[in-house]
C-alpha cells in the first residue's frame, strides 16, 4: 500500500481512502447496499474490472468493506460497508456539498445514475407535514425509475414505480435536482424542458423550508 508516511490523521486517512475510485465505491454502497459486483460496475461507469477488484480487496483488508454469500435467489457474493466504512458518510456529504457548485461546469452528456438522487434528496429535503398522509413523487431521470416518499416524517428514495404518484418529475438531472432543492423554480424549470405532472403542493411539502417560505 502506498503511504504518505506522515504522523498526521488526514494523511493516514488518505492512505486508506485517497486512491481513485475508493470513495465512489463507498458512495455506491451507501446508496444501495448490499451490492453485487455487477451492481458496483453499473454505478461506477469507467472503472476497469481489475481495478474494482483491487479496490474492493484493499478496502476489505482495511476494514471498510465485508463480503458475504447471499442466499437464493441472488446466490452470489455481495458487498456491504462495515461500521468503519459507514463512518465515512459525513466525509462524502462534505465533499458533495463542496463540489455542488462545480456541477454547473459539467458536460451535458456526463453520466448520471438514478440512485445518485439519494444524497441530495435525503440531505436537503424534509417533510413539512409529517402528520398528513404520505406522498410519493415519481422521478424519471437516468435509466432507472425512482420514487421519493415521505415515510414516518423522513424523505427517502428507492427504485421503482407506483400506479398513481402524487407528482411526477422528469428531465435532465440538473433541472430535476434544482427543482427538488429549490435552486430552480418550477415555472422556470418547465420552460427549460422539465416534465412535471401532478400536484405542486406535493413538491412544496418536501422542498427546503427556505423555499416553501418564499
pLDDT of residue 200: 94
Residue at 3 is within a domain? no
Q: Looking at residue 31, which CATH number applies to its domain?
A: 1.10.10.10
pTM over 0.85: yes
Same domain, 192 and 141: yes
Beta-carbon contacts of residue 147 (< 8 Å; ≥ 6 apart): 136, 137, 138, 139, 157, 158, 159, 160, 161, 162, 165
CATH code for the domain of 179:
3.30.1050.10
Q: Which residues does residue 140 pair with via DSSP β-bridges, in sequence order?
A: 170
Residue 12's H or E segment, with its range, is helix 9-17
Q: Convert the pLDDT of each residue in 157-186 to its tens digit.
A: 999 999 999 999 999 898 999 999 888 899
Which has more pLDDT, 176 or 210? 176
| pLDDT recorded at residue 213 | 52
Residues 134 and 94 in one domain: no
Residue 1 lies in a domain: no
Question: Is 185 inside any structural domain?
Answer: yes
Residues 96 and 45 in one domain: yes
Range of the domain at 130: 114-212
Q: Is residue 88 part of a domain?
A: yes
For residue 72, what pLDDT is reported? 79
97 band by pLDDT with thresholds 50, 70 and 90: confident
**What is the rounded average pLDDT of the residues 187-201?**
94
Domain boundary among 105, 135, 166: 105
pLDDT category at 41 given cuts 50, 70, 90 is very high
Same-domain pairing of 100 and 131: no
User: Which tops the pLDDT comparison, 183 or 65?
Assistant: 65
> What pLDDT is recorded for position 212?
54
Q: Give yes or no for residue 2 having a pLDDT over 90.
A: no
How many domains is the chain built from? 2
Higher pLDDT, 211 or 104: 104
- CA 101, CA 210: separation in Å to the nearest integer? 19
pLDDT bucket at 71, cuts 50 / 70 / 90: confident
- For all residues of the chain together, what is the average pLDDT? 91
Does residue 2 belong to any structural domain of this protein? no
Residues 124 and 207 in one domain: yes
CA dist., res. 119 & res. 183, Å (int):
16
> Grid cell 435467489 — which residue?
73
> What's the mean pLDDT in 53-58?
96
Distance, in Å, from the CA atom of 196 to the CA atom of 140, rounded to the nearest integer, reads 10
> Are 47 and 82 within one domain?
yes
Are 77 and 139 in a shared domain? no
For residue 8, what pLDDT is reported?
Answer: 95
| Residues 94 and 122 reside in one and the same domain | no
Q: Is the pLDDT of residue 210 over 60?
A: no
Mean of the pLDDT values across residues 78-86? Answer: 96
Say if residue 54 is in the same domain as residue 87. Answer: yes
Considering the domain architecture, whether residues 176 and 119 belong to the same structural domain is answered as yes
Amino acid at each position: 500500500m502506498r503511504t504518505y508516511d506522515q504522523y498526521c490523521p488526514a494523511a493516514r486517512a488518505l492512505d486508506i481512502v485517497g486512491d481513485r475510485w475508493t470513495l465512489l465505491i463507498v458512495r455506491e454502497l451507501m446508496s444501495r447496499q448490499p451490492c453485487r459486483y455487477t451492481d458496483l460496475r453499473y454505478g461506477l461507469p469507467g472503472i476497469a474490472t481489475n481495478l474494482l477488484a483491487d479496490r474492493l480487496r484493499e478496502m476489505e483488508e482495511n476494514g471498510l468493506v465485508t463480503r458475504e454469500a447471499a442466499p437464493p435467489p441472488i446466490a452470489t457474493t455481495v458487498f456491504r460497508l462495515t461500521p468503519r466504512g459507514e463512518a465515512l458518510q459525513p466525509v462524502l456529504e462534505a465533499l458533495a456539498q463542496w463540489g455542488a457548485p462545480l456541477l454547473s461546469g459539467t458536460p451535458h452528456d456526463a453520466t448520471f445514475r438514478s440512485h445518485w438522487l439519494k444524497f441530495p434528496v435525503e440531505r436537503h429535503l424534509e417533510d413539512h407535514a409529517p402528520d398528513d398522509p404520505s406522498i410519493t413523487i415519481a422521478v424519471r431521470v437516468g435509466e432507472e425509475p425512482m420514487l421519493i416518499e415521505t415515510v414516518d416524517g423522513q424523505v427517502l428514495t428507492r427504485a421503482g414505480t407506483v400506479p398513481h404518484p402524487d407528482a411526477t418529475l422528469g428531465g435532465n438531472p440538473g433541472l430535476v435536482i434544482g427543482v427538488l432543492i429549490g435552486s430552480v423554480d418550477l415555472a422556470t424549470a418547465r420552460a427549460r424542458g422539465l416534465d412535471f405532472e401532478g400536484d405542486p403542493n406535493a413538491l412544496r411539502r418536501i422542498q427546503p423550508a427556505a423555499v416553501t417560505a418564499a
